[in-house]
Amino acid sequence: MVTYIAPIAVKNPLGNQSRAYVGKTTGSLESLTKIPCVRSVSVQFTSDQVDLSTRDDGGWKRPVPGEKSATVELEFLVILGDPIQEAFFEAYYADEPSTIAATFIPAEDVKAMGYSGDWIVTDVGEDQPRNEGVPWKISLASYGKIERFKATTTAAANVEPNEDN
């Protein structure tokens, strides 16, 4: 038998200051919708190398910087029926590629950098958790340009360690 936790009881037990929002920032996080119960956010950047050869280099390959990309690992506690959390699951299983405009702030430091843009959900784990309060980890990849910005102290001040986030 499954026992469900009332949505109001789902808290972030770690008090982590990592944050995630739906929408792209335009300088103010207050205008975005916060993803509830975020436990951790990890953002990784890579830059592909492209091998080029021309007549000028005698046919030798030259690695040159190519396209940059970013990936995100996002973990949050499940809240059954939450439309924001369900949007990630629906985007993954959509019939055609679906992007989600989202902003991620991975560090606990109030001077942390944030990353905002369009993302594609690349993995939702083996199964979507069916119980509230259970951690759920999903992966996303950048889709186009990602804007980097300095997270403001006012946004961090709005996050209390035991607040529903």
CATH number of the domain bearing residue 139: 2.30.110
Closest CA to 45 of 129, 125, 121, 147: 147
What is the domain extent for residue 34?
A: 14-157
Q: Please give the sequence-ordered ranges of beta strands (E in DSSP) within 106-162, or none if there are none.
A: 113-123, 135-142, 147-150
Note the pLDDT tens digit of each residue in 25-47: 876 788 888 888 888 899 998 88
**Interior angle at CA 163, CA 158 and CA 165, nearest 5:** 85
What's the DSSP call for residue 135? E
Q: Has residue 161 got a pLDDT over 70?
A: no
Q: What's residue 142's pLDDT? A: 93
Q: Which residue has better confidence, 5 or 126?
A: 126
Tell me the pTM. 0.71
Q: How many domains does the chain have?
A: 1
Q: Is 164 among the domain residues?
A: no
Closest CA to 104 of 13, 31, 33, 43: 43
